[in-house]
Chains A and B, each alone.
Chain A
Amino acid sequence: MLTLEIDGQRVTVEDGATVMDAAHRLGIYIPHFCYHKKLSIAASCRMCLVEVEKAPKPVPACATPATNGMRVWTHSPKAVAAQKGVMEFLLINHPLDCPICDQGGECQLQDLAVGYGQSAHCFSEPKRVVADKDLGPLIATFMTRCIHCTRCVRFLMEVGGYQELGQAFRGEHSEIMPFLEQTVRSEISGNIIDLCPVGALTSKPFLYRARTWELTRRRSVSPHDAWGSNVIVQSRFDQVLRVLPFEEESINECWLSDRDRFAYLGLDSTERLTQPLVKRGSEWVAVEWETALQVAVNRLNDVRAQEEGGRVAVLAHPMATVEELFLARTLAETLEGECDARLRQSSGRADSAREGAAWLNSTISEIAAFDGQWFLGSDLRRHLPLMAVRVRTAARRGAYLVAWSWVADEWRVPGLEWSLWTPATMGAALAKVALVVARRAGDDGALPRWVAEWAADAALSEEGTVALVQRLERCQRRRIWLGEGLLAHPQAAELEFLAGVVATRIGATVGWLVEGANAVGAAAVGANGAQSASELVAEPRAAYVLLHAEPEDFLVPQQAVEAFSRARTVVALSAFASASLRETADVLLPVTPFTETSGSFVNIEGRVQPFTAVVRPRGESRPGWRVLAALTTLLGREARFASTEAVRGAALREGWRERLATKPIARPPVGVPALERVEPAAVFRWYQTDPIVRRSTALAACTEEE
């Protein structure tokens, strides 16, 4: 521990802390540009110069280690003179085009220039001009404004895992650029917009849309993956114009994935459904809510009267809120039907065979602390972009990381041992590992016969297997991750069992990388049944009620389309009227997306995160939970709630957490078929994961560029 004095105040910090860290401890602000708490130290802008006793010259606070007995002045005349001098240098080549710059009003340079800038400076030569760069559909560049702090470069290198930008040339000719004819492909690239302290990097979709001070801002939770990133949604005149991260160290730190940041564009899709529609013959007719609900109820009652029980399925997208899913389940019970929110799981067998629901099985913060991690069947960089960030941190700390994937995309994790498999070859190899581990433990006799049969086909040598296992065993905290691809596999139950055989014998824990913002919430409120939604469309039901789900959201979209076309009736509660829904549904009820209703999600680590509406419901649309409650009531079961809080109270009862799994499937599922030669079933479709994401024009442009 070191004790020093800053501006006359004493402070104690850990060894290795910088003067900047110590100042932050005291709440003293030192002006800076290149310094960022999450990035390495560059000390390139010199804005943070401070005076230190006995030092001949001012020193940069961000790069100067604190020492015992040090005396620092951050606002002494000498320090301020140095800071002003730096500001004058920074402004030499800066265009000062604030009136036409999108960063205006939220610009670090603008703010600090108010404090340290002069109205005139000594430099009278012409300013330089730098050509703009093409950084893809998300980021607009105005490179003349760049002050070469290299935050963007360091972010992509350190957090993004691959250096896509660099500082080329030298001195006055320096330019931030990607390699010739390349651009930025990081799945978290949007963060460099936030990091850029000037207006050199700005949001392309938001460009010239509004000034920051015109926007209304509300906190919310991102519904596009299971991470539950905290966001600030900014809007004007009831239109969402921008989504930014809300710093939450234990979830998204200060980052946001591009999907979370730019999906909001989908909210304004021309396909937005703003009125209840009923199909008469082949025509869609706009009707009042009363009528639409009555038509829906009549249709569902008809099906109920004619068919024996269990012929109606309520299928919900796992991005639906806790409240919606709870009421969806209530509706299904009222209809004596089934309910499910696992649109991309081939089968519900694994969930039924396991004790408890799939989830991360640790906190998000713990991920970086596992020093041995083995990923099975995940496309992590696209599935959970911010988990990939945490895994990169683990990599930096020297963790041993292995990924068996069936998507040809390495994750930009340094040192990751990545290999490509097919679902079938991975099944065989996993059986081999299980067999070898069990044999070593002397209990391979207890394994079911099929394990050895599967293992016979394995494209993995005995030595390779042993090496992998021993390497994992040398780690302190071992973790096996069951990826979203594995969970989608028809034989997910067997694969999970095999992973469990390995895990228990090498002392590893298992975590499940589930899909959907509220996948854990769906399990928590009991919205899933014995069969997964994919099975419920593979074996068609007489009627379907869809909640935020379009055929495109299912594992096999074509199967969903066929099931819905054949069904006697399909009632869709949706924010959008897609062509596929117009084709296959009979009643379209406009329900609000997450920005227009209150609700809550349970994220992958089991954290309940409530949020409120940001803007008013578009057109006639109503919150899904109200519509579901009304339908249920009309169908003859009282379901009246005053608010989402009230629904949540009923949905998440005391003790729901105990239903989260701690161990993988322990008993082998019965009736195991031969290892299926299935094609990669759940190849993760980038930027196709939910109705809002699919409609974001900017994200669509990114997919095209791929």
Chain B
Amino acid sequence: MLSQEALARIDREIAKYPPGKKQSAVMAALRIAQEEHGWLSQEIISFVAEYLEMPPVAVYEVATFYNMFDLKPVGRYKITVCTNLPCALSGGEHAADHLKERLGIGFGETTSDGLFTLKEGECMGACGDAPVILVNNRRMFCRMTRERLDSLLESLRAESEEKGRR
């Protein structure tokens, strides 16, 4: 279900914990699985559970708790907007509304071209720079005014075309 390479990475994570404590590696294993597979399907979750000798529901608890894990397929760019209180007070909600309007989708949805998925996120620890946005769990963007949001979307589109051409 996962490549040898992914399994080797998971094994490295397991080795960080004492013997018999495989389940400690569950977050790392899910992250690696998601990176390879794009999202966490029921089959992937069962596989990770078996690999770590955990009841599947225990893995499911973790996968559903953290919203960086995706339980449904996502587009090439997953945009997560922080809507927690500090951000909300400084325009987080407006940023989300703007993205919804521009992309024509709501939270948890993906554009029909498969390029963008919009998600609602929790505090990313950068409240002072609100509104805060995270792209693909890794790239963070701060002070996202409408203009900056528009240019971000544009640059992501360009980046995707670039990749497509190559």
- Please say whether chains A and B are actual partners in one complex: yes
* Residues of chain A at the chain B interface (Cβ within 8 Å): 162-170, 177-182
Classify the interface of chain B: helix, strand, loop or mixed. Answer: helix
Contact B61 A164 (CB under 8 A): no
Residues on B with C-beta less than 8 A from A169 are 64-65
Contact B42 A164 (CB under 8 A): no
C-alpha gap A182/B67 in the complex (Å): 23
Which of these, B42, B46, B57, contacts A165 with CB under 8 Å?
Answer: B57
B8 at the A/B interface (Cβ < 8 Å)?
no
Nearest CB to that of A181 among chain B residues?
A: B42
Residues on B with C-beta less than 8 A from A182 are 56-57
Contact with A along B34-78 (1 / 0, CB 8 A): 000000001001100000000111101100110100000000000
* A168-B60 contact, Cβ under 8 Å, with A180-B42, A181-B42: yes
Interface centre among B45, B56, B58, by most A CB within 10 Å? B56
Which of these, A162, A168, A181, contacts B55 with CB under 8 Å?
Answer: A162
Number of cross-chain contacts by CB at 8 Å: 36
Contact B61 A166 (CB under 8 A): yes
Nearest CB to that of A178 among chain B residues?
A: B57
Residues on B with C-beta less than 8 A from A165 are 57
* Residues of chain B at the chain A interface (Cβ within 8 Å): 42, 45-46, 55-58, 60-61, 64-65, 67
Contact B61 A168 (CB under 8 A): yes
Interface centre among B45, B46, B55, B67, by most A CB within 10 Å? B55
Classify the interface of chain A: helix, strand, loop or mixed. Answer: loop
Contact B65 A164 (CB under 8 A): no
Q: What's the nearest-Cβ distance from chain A to residue B27, in Å?
A: 14
Residues on B with C-beta less than 8 A from A162 are 55
Q: What's the nearest-Cβ distance from chain A to residue B15, in Å?
A: 22
Q: What's the nearest-Cβ distance from chain A to residue B94, in Å?
A: 22
C-alpha gap A167/B57 in the complex (Å): 8
Nearest CB to that of B61 among chain A residues?
A: A166
List, sorted by A's number, 6 A–B pairs whose CB atoms are closer than 8 Å.
Answer: A163-B55, A164-B55, A166-B58, A170-B65, A179-B60, A181-B42
Q: What's the nearest-Cβ distance from chain B to residue A107, in Å?
A: 26
C-alpha gap A181/B57 in the complex (Å): 11
Residues on A with C-beta less than 8 A from B46 are 179
Q: What's the nearest-Cβ distance from chain B to residue A401, in Å?
A: 16
Residues on A with C-beta less than 8 A from B58 are 163, 166
Which of these, B45, B57, B65, B67, contacts A163 with CB under 8 Å?
Answer: B57
Contact A167 B42 (CB under 8 A): no
Which of these, A163, A170, A178, contacts B64 with CB under 8 Å?
Answer: A170
Q: What's the nearest-Cβ distance from chain B to residue A257, in Å?
A: 21
Contact A167 B55 (CB under 8 A): no
Q: What's the nearest-Cβ distance from chain B to residue A110, in Å?
A: 29
Contact A180 B55 (CB under 8 A): no
Residues on A with C-beta less than 8 A from B55 are 162-164, 166, 179
Interface centre among B45, B56, B57, B60, by most A CB within 10 Å? B57
Q: What's the nearest-Cβ distance from chain A to residue B23, in Å?
A: 11
Residues on B with C-beta less than 8 A from A167 are 61
Interface centre among A179, A181, A182, by most B CB within 10 Å? A179
Contact A179 B64 (CB under 8 A): no
Residues on A with C-beta less than 8 A from B56 are 179, 182
Residues on A with C-beta less than 8 A from B45 are 179
Residues on B with C-beta less than 8 A from A181 are 42
C-alpha gap A178/B60 in the complex (Å): 9
Nearest CB to that of A175 among chain B residues?
A: B64
Q: What's the nearest-Cβ distance from chain B to residue A149, in Å?
A: 16
Residues on A with C-beta less than 8 A from B60 are 166, 168, 179-180
Q: What's the nearest-Cβ distance from chain B to residue A157, in Å?
A: 8
Nearest CB to that of A180 among chain B residues?
A: B42
Residues on A with C-beta less than 8 A from B61 are 166-168
C-alpha gap A163/B61 in the complex (Å): 11
C-alpha gap A182/B60 in the complex (Å): 12
Beyond A167-B61, A168-B57, 19 extra complex contacts between A and B, CB < 8 Å: A162-B55, A163-B58, A164-B55, A164-B57, A165-B57, A166-B55, A166-B61, A168-B60, A168-B61, A169-B64, A169-B65, A170-B64, A170-B65, A177-B57, A179-B46, A179-B60, A180-B42, A182-B56, A182-B57
C-alpha gap A179/B64 in the complex (Å): 11
Residues on B with C-beta less than 8 A from A164 are 55, 57
Contact B42 A168 (CB under 8 A): no
Q: What's the nearest-Cβ distance from chain B to residue A559, in Å?
A: 42
C-alpha gap A179/B59 in the complex (Å): 9
Residues on A with C-beta less than 8 A from B57 are 163-166, 168, 177-179, 182
